[in-house]
Structure 1
């Protein structure tokens, strides 16, 4: 198997994995947005307050509940969702191109390979930025829910604790955590794809440089063979000639 074919197969596999990871970003973020009624939990601020249970549940006694002072900016959740959607669409387009090149047994041109490297690096930084924003936003939300680790339960365990908010909090940690892990996976995949794109660019550059030299080498070889065939044959050594009347 040639080098360019191995690179194309590796690129196809990386694009397929990026599509799956992108779907694991889009679907949970959509579910989280539906459960929170369009609000973004990332970077939300709030505090815990103890009030009369009767005001909240209609039963006597005191109860602690979470008070959200300010919900997070919607752009934080929308940016992660956008990166997931873009990863799915772009990965599908690039994966189809790689399969087309595998079927046609040819690769990108030198300019197309350069554009692929440039786009791969841009998407790498885009997915890396979304991963950092989602991780920081989830940590901020967990600090609010656990009251900076004062509460006797972790952020994941607090999903089963009633927060007495007007949104569905049964999976408020799982829904952002899965996209967080998927976005970091997408970042690692785009790093691998950037390296593969650089290798394909190097291979295209090598083919572009060595391509014009091959006809010239053929001409030189043909000219050398023609000169060899047109050279005079060396004379045979003189022999003794006997006449019929010698005896």
Structure 2
């Protein structure tokens, strides 16, 4: 099947960018999971408490610490990590295959192109769901850390404030914000890959439909049918000489 190099090069570039974006999701989430000792900060609930047990008034210099009532479900963090890992592995495999196609000057079949479109759309919805889940969970954790924005610092600055937990919170905002932005980039790249896969499917379908018709159209333009081109024309009878008397 004829190769459209522009679409294939664009698809290769999208897969290369998705590998980078996927790694920027997996690495921060892994570092955050290690710092939090396997616990998930997303959707965690808690409150601030002073030393005497009273509710905090968020006064400067007041000794208070964060009490986590319930850590977030591990599936919330694992889902985002899974999307990042799948994006990296799939992007590496597909990028290598498309480079091979560019070298061999051929492309996917019609059925393979359809499967690529179907898989890209499915993973697009998965990555979009993971992006929304990570954003909502991160916002919920920030509300817990800042006591619904009543503390004298923002969520970004709270990673440098001692929370007095049994986990390392010195870089949670950097890790989760980087993973959040990268996961949204992964979603955008899956959208681009879905569009490119559909364009390649359309190109393959056009080549499949127009391929068998080209020889017949060429013969019709030349003025003879395919049945006439393969059989020799019958010989003309010799002319009878006329005798003049």
TM-score by length of 1: 0.85
d(CA) in 2 for partners of 1:102 and 1:133? 38
Q: What's the counterpart of residue 18 of structure 1? A: 18
Q: Distance in 1 between matches of 2:16 and 2:149?
A: 39
Runs of 5+ consecutive residues of structure 2 not aligned to the other structure: 53-60, 236-245
**Per the alignment, in what secondary structure is the counterpart of residue 224 of structure 1?**
coil
Corresponding residue of 2:166: 166
The count of aligned residue pairs is 222
Is the CA contact (8 Å cut-off) linking 2:3 and 2:106 kept in structure 1?
A: no
User: Which residue is equivalent to 1:5?
Assistant: 5
Which range moved further: 7-16 or 167-176?
Answer: 167-176
Where 1:170 maps in the other structure, the secondary structure is coil
- Helix, strand or coil for the counterpart of 1:70? strand
Alignment map for 1:85-234 (pairs within 5 Å): 85-220=85-220, 224=224
Q: Distance in 1 between matches of 2:192 and 2:72?
A: 32
Partner Cα separation in structure 1 for residue 98 and residue 143 of structure 2: 44
> Residue 241 of structure 2 corresponds to which residue in structure 1?
none
Give the match for residue 55 of structure 1.
Answer: none
Cα distance between partner residues in 2 of 1:208 and 1:51: 75
Structure 1: how far apart are the matches of 2:166 and 2:136?
Answer: 24
Cα distance in structure 1, aligned partners of 2:112 and 2:215? 24
> 1:221 Cα deviation (Å)?
5.4
User: How far did residue 173 of structure 1 move?
Assistant: 1.1
Q: RMSD between aligned alpha carbons?
A: 2.2
Match of 2:243 in 1: none
Q: Which secondary structure does the structure 1 equivalent of 2:96 belong to?
A: helix
Structure 2 Cα separation of the partners of residues 114 and 88 of structure 1 = 21
1:145-187 CA-to-partner distances (Å, cap 9, x unmatched) read 0000000110010011000000001011111111100000000
Per the TM alignment, residue 12 of structure 1 is displaced from its structure 2 partner at its CA by: 0.3
Pick which of 92-101 and 212-221 moved more.
212-221
Following TM superposition, by how much is the alpha carbon of 1:231 offset from its aligned partner in structure 2, in angstroms? 11
